[in-house]
Amino acid sequence: MICEKTGAIHLEADQFMLDRNGDYRFDGRKLRDVHARCETECDAYLSTGQAVVVSNTFSEIWEMQAYLDMAERHDVPLQIIECHGQFRNIHGVPDDKIDAMRKRWQQLPDRYR
């Protein structure tokens, strides 16, 4: 998907969990694969000089490390936006899972703020 305003490619792991009708169907067994696919596509676009926006939920630094490394390897500027506050849960993630993500939240290192 291309962002009309910036021309950047928009990627998120959730877009790889759509069924044949285009409806979101979470499957925890696919998490590793859909995140790997998101990383692979991001790297491919960056290698062509295309700007990319990745909107995944990263609660720990290791979860975004592949993207941090890609930005460095492709020598592209990196902007990380932290969302704070209460937002609508559009994928039906159970409250206990969201609480667990909040509890393991890691602040960004100063160099990425």
At 52, is the pLDDT very low, low, confident or very high (cuts 50, 70, 90)?
A: very high
Looking at CATH, the fold of the domain delimited by 9-112 is given as: Rossmann fold (3.40.50)
DSSP readout, 13-32?
Answer: GGGGSB-TTS-B---GGGHH
At 84, is the pLDDT very low, low, confident or very high (cuts 50, 70, 90)?
A: confident
> Residue 9, Cβ neighbours under 10 Å: how many?
19
- Burial class for 48, CB neighbours closer than 10 Å (0-12, 13-18, 19+): exposed
At 91, is the pLDDT very low, low, confident or very high (cuts 50, 70, 90)?
A: confident
CA angle 78, 79, 83 (to 5 degrees): 150
Sequence ranges of the domains in the chain: 9-112
Return the pLDDT at 93.
82
Over pLDDT 90: what percentage of the chain? 65
Sign of the alpha-carbon torsion through 82, 88, 90, 92 = positive
